[in-house]
A = this chain, B = another copy of it.
């Protein structure tokens, strides 16, 4: 049982087959190479979803821009809160472990990143802004029809413009998609999450 954790072959990181890197479209190979440069290793999620070929490359283009620390309308920490809470509410183990780390870095507090990835509701230290964003992510992820005019008004009271509000909607909705990929494929968490 535990041996497989030490030397995983490509096939056990996913419920579907995992194509070799050199079978992939050029755009997808470049995205993977960029992630490897950034992280120092190739995360399992991008290997696993590469079975989607050109569709996956187009999705990555969409997603990676939303999570770029150096662009975007909303502060990076806001977008990481939205990504992390969406992943928790959608029930994606891989993404919770992954974003516990990246949110921890964005907040400069790894304990907080981990606790929010478990359940933001029990984190009394959460700032009011982050609590509102987290609640919005939870509602739009799980009960989108319940988002009402008052929820939008609350976001505007935080100072968000309509463009920023819709960027938040994009982050949450991109994780509605990405979490379904990772849950469906049962992607094995990266060894690097546990260091």
Tell me the minimal C-beta distance from A7 to chain B in angstroms.
13
Nearest to A156 among chain B residues (CB) is B16
Beyond the given A5-B125, A12-B124, could you list 10 further A-B residue pairs with CB under 8 A, ordered by the A residue number? Answer: A16-B166, A51-B166, A55-B167, A58-B61, A93-B115, A93-B122, A111-B189, A111-B191, A111-B194, A177-B177
A112–B147 alpha-carbon span in the complex (Å): 22
Query: Does the CB pair A173–B177 fall under 8 Å?
Result: yes
B-facing mask of A115-131, CB < 8 A → 1, else 0? 10011011111110000
For the complex, is A179 an interface residue (Cβ under 8 Å from B)? Answer: yes
Query: Does the CB pair B179–A51 fall under 8 Å?
Result: no
Query: Does the CB pair B53–A163 fall under 8 Å?
Result: yes
A5–B173 alpha-carbon span in the complex (Å): 29
A58–B66 alpha-carbon span in the complex (Å): 10
For the complex, is A149 an interface residue (Cβ under 8 Å from B)? Answer: yes
Tell me the minimal C-beta distance from A10 to chain B in angstroms.
13
CB<8 Å pairs between A and B, sample of 27: A1-B112, A4-B125, A5-B125, A51-B163, A52-B163, A52-B170, A55-B65, A55-B166, A56-B166, A58-B61, A58-B62, A90-B144, A91-B145, A93-B123, A94-B122, A96-B118, A110-B194, A111-B194, A122-B186, A140-B180, A140-B184, A144-B179, A147-B183, A147-B184, A169-B184, A173-B176, A176-B176
A193–B185 alpha-carbon span in the complex (Å): 30
Q: A residues within 8 Å of B by Cβ?
A: 1-2, 4-5, 12, 15-17, 49, 51-56, 58-59, 61-62, 65-66, 90-91, 93-94, 96-97, 107-112, 114-115, 118-119, 121-127, 140, 144-145, 147, 149, 152, 162-163, 165-167, 169-170, 172-174, 176-181, 183-184, 186, 188-189, 191, 194
Main SS class of interface, A: helix
Query: Does the CB pair B180–A176 fall under 8 Å?
Result: yes
Those 6 A-B pairs whose CB atoms lie nearest each other, nearest first: A173-B177, A176-B176, A58-B62, A173-B180, A16-B162, A93-B122
